[in-house]
Amino acid sequence: MHDTTAMLIELGAIILALGLLGRLAGRIGFSPIPLYLLAGLAFGHGGLLPMNASEEFIATGAEIGVILLLLLLGLEYSASELVTNLKTQYPSGIVDFVLNALPGAVAALILGWGPVAAVALAGVTWISSSGVIAKVLGDLGRLGNRETPVILGVLVIEDLAMAVYLPLLTALLAGLSLAGGSLTLLISLGTVSIVLYVALRHGRLISRAVSSDNPEMLLLVVLGLTLFVAGIAQELQVSAAVGAFLVGIALSGEVAEGAHNLLAPLRDLFAAVFFVFFGLSTDPADIPPVLVPALILAVVTTLTKIGTGWYAARRAGIGPRGRLRAGGTLVARGEFSIVIAGLAVGVEPRIGPLATAYVLILVIIGPLTARWTEPIGRRFLRTPAPAPKEPAVPLKTPDTASTPT
């Protein structure tokens, strides 16, 4: 009874603090994500007010938060749009990998951590945070912008690439043979391929089966299906977030719109819990020793992500302003980077604190670059503001309407 009481008090205090921080961020026109992270640091191990009773519940809530973020991101696109994005954006995905994975791999080798740690740190610096970016796009009201499909296309490629990268990294860390690693990779690729095929060929049937005029039934079925598929995906060596994203892709039409409206408040709540948990799991004392290399990596990969967004948006025919917004939005790192670092700490313990500091820096900087890269870059590029439209002048026509015929 005492543990339950303590958990309720801690959860109430955390959620109340999140609400107040969110209101403060809204008043100053700022994304609440950095404030959520700092709150997590304050309440976590080594913080000002450590909370232990609710840690397990918050960890589960954080996992649900990532799943809901990716589900609602998937609801924005149909399966056919996903395939079109993959066909048109794959050169941007290659550029993204080269520009952003290489700094992490080089840093690990310079630090003398070995090739396996280099593969792990390359993943940490490569993958943008779909969860953070989805939240930032919503906070800034940019879901309808021209560059947003380009941003989502790059994120989709990264998230699907995780279905290949994570099993490969797991095999390397475990020292599996070529045959064992190949089997794990084949299972992962097969799972993603099957889900994509079902979404493409039978998405309407799935939507029809899930559809309900009762909001309660729709919420329960969609949420249950998403958690079920995410768990199965995790069991089959595919990220739970990728599984949730594919469920969102499979749903379309009125079902997708209704599910989006019902799940958006839950997403915001559990997403806030995710960012708090990220801060809770970080000991502030571990950050200072690795702060300098983390800062160097953060600066380098901020520039490379902006370059990635610029290249991808330019390929799509978007102007300089949209290119800058796309690049600035892609800067944030988050959930996948932490997962990768957690897998790699058994081989190289120092990669954990470094990755934590690196992600913490970029998850705070990311919302700022998303908002300010375009205004700052516009000054350097000296891009003129669009000229105001002149009022239309009505055409003068003979006054034949009043003349009797």
CA distance 92 to 86: 10
**Residue 157 domain-assigned (yes or no):** yes
Range of the domain at 94: 2-380
Range 303-314 burial, b when 16+ CB lie within 10 A, else e: ebbbbbbbbbbb
Torsion angles phi and psi, residue 83, rounded to 5:
-65, -40
Confidence (pLDDT) at 177? 56
Length of the chain (residues): 405
CA distance 372 to 364: 13
CA distance 355 to 300: 15
**Residue 42 domain-assigned (yes or no):** yes
Confidence (pLDDT) at 46? 64
**Residue 391 domain-assigned (yes or no):** no
**Residue 291 domain-assigned (yes or no):** yes
**Through-space distance between the first and last CA atoms of the chain, rounded to whole angstroms:** 93
CA distance 330 to 369: 9
Single out the residue of 54, 97, 69, 129 nearest to residue 271, CA to CA: 69
- Which tokens go with 10? 């801690």
**Residue 404 domain-assigned (yes or no):** no
Task: Collect all residues with Cβ–Cβ distance below 8 Å to 337 and sequence separation of at least 6.
Answer: 123, 124, 125, 127, 129, 355, 358, 359
**Residue 348 domain-assigned (yes or no):** yes
CA distance 316 to 311: 9
**Residue 402 domain-assigned (yes or no):** no
Confidence (pLDDT) at 178? 56
- The radius of gyration computed from the CA coordinates of the chain, to the nearest angstrom, equals 23
Successive 10-residue mean pLDDT values, the chain, 405 residues: 75 86 79 77 70 72 81 75 76 95 95 90 91 82 86 84 77 66 70 74 78 86 88 75 79 81 84 77 79 94 96 92 94 81 78 84 88 85 52 41 39
Single out the residue of 319, 394, 310, 338 nearest to residue 125, CA to CA: 338
For residue 24, what is the domain's CATH number? Answer: 1.20.1530.20
**Residue 387 domain-assigned (yes or no):** no
Answering whether pTM is above 0.85, one says no
| Number of structural domains found in the chain | 1
Distance of CA 246 to the CA centre of its chain: 14
User: Is the CB of residue 298 less than 8 Å from the CB of residue 358?
Assistant: yes
